[in-house]
Amino acid sequence: MPFENTEHHTSRGGWIEVIVGSMFSGKTEELIRRLRRAEYARMKSEIFKPVVDTRYSDEDVVSHDEKSIRSTPVDSASNILILASEVDVVGIDEAQFFDPGLVDVCNKLANNGMRVVVAGLDMDFRGKPFGPIPGLMATAEHVTKIHAICVRCGNLAHYSHRKTASRKLVLLGETDEYEPLCRSCFNEALKE
Task: Work out whether the CA dihedral 65, 66, 70, 76 comes out positive or negative.
Answer: positive
Which DSSP string corresponds to 96-115?
GGS-TTHHHHHHHHHHTT-E
CB-based burial, 91-129: b 16+ in 10 Å, e otherwise: bbbbbbbbeeebbebbbebbeeebbbbbbbbbbbbebee
Determine which one of 17, 30, 46, 94 is catalytic: 94
Please indicate whether residue 141 is annotated as part of the active site: no
CB neighbours of residue 179 within 10 Å? 22
Q: Is the Cβ–Cβ distance between 101 and 76 less than 8 Å?
A: yes
For the chain, how far is it from start to end, CA to CA, in angstroms?
A: 43
Beta-sheet pairing, 178-181 with 159-162: antiparallel
Q: Which amino acids are annotated catalytic?
A: 94
